[in-house]
Amino acid sequence: MTRFISENNIRFGCRVAAVILLLEHVLLQGEPNGDYWTLPGGGVELLEPSETALQREMREELSIEIRIHRLLWIVEQFFADNKQRKHHELALIYLVVPVEPLPLLDRQITAYEGSIPIIFKWFHIEDLPRILYPSFLMSGLKSLPTAAQKVTEQSIALSENTHQDDLETKKGMEEPRIITI
């Protein structure tokens, strides 16, 4: 099922993600030859509650059941992908606890989304990968908020009217804007 809306080479979508912690490590997902990592999760289907979407994604990708503890962040991102498509993404990031134990910290997990392999790997909170999206997680994972926060990250220029011709990739990224809700 399509999990984003596309118009004029601009994509809008909603994603859910899980913060899964174990002994000062966090579980991240990436591609086998990719150069960046992100939290495990995926797209929300139309008319699917975000908590249900996250439980479905964890079953599909990791074959686990989770208990959702609480919402940590609502993240609004504006970015361009490696195909230069512009994205406007909303992400709901939850702190979760697996119902059953996950593999040991020294073990890498490979799952598949269709025919595309996804790598899941534990990283120590103090030794996160160099490229982690969204970027605020580099500091955010080291000190989880006590109340939900709204975070905005922008790596493309935006104008008041969002026509494609008005969007340009920015050199560098603005500092994330974080608001406690």
pLDDT tens for residues 117-176?
999 999 999 999 989 999 999 999 999 999 999 999 998 877 655 444 444 444 455 688
Q: What is the rounded distance in angstroms from the CA atom of residue 19 to the CA atom of residue 28?
A: 9
Q: What is the DSSP letter of 164?
A: G
Q: Of the given ranges (82-91, 92-101, 137-146), which has the lowest mean pLDDT?
A: 82-91
* 56 φψ region: left (φ > 0), alpha (ψ -120 to 50), beta (else): alpha
Q: What is the rounded distance in angstroms from the CA atom of residue 120 to the CA atom of residue 42?
A: 13
Q: What is the model's pLDDT at position 166?
A: 43
Q: Where are the domains of the chain?
A: 4-175
Q: What is the rounded distance in angstroms from the CA atom of residue 54 to the CA atom of residue 71?
A: 12
Q: What is the rounded distance in angstroms from the CA atom of residue 50 to the CA atom of residue 52?
A: 5
Q: What is the rounded distance in angstroms from the CA atom of residue 166 to the CA atom of residue 160?
A: 9
Q: Which of 21, 39, 5 is nearest to 144 (CA)?
A: 21
- The more confidently predicted of residues 181 and 105 is 181
Q: What is the model's pLDDT at position 2?
A: 54
Q: What is the model's pLDDT at position 167?
A: 44
Q: What is the model's pLDDT at position 114?
A: 83
Cβ proximity of 99 and 65 under 8 Å: yes
- May I ask the CATH class of domain 4-175? alpha beta
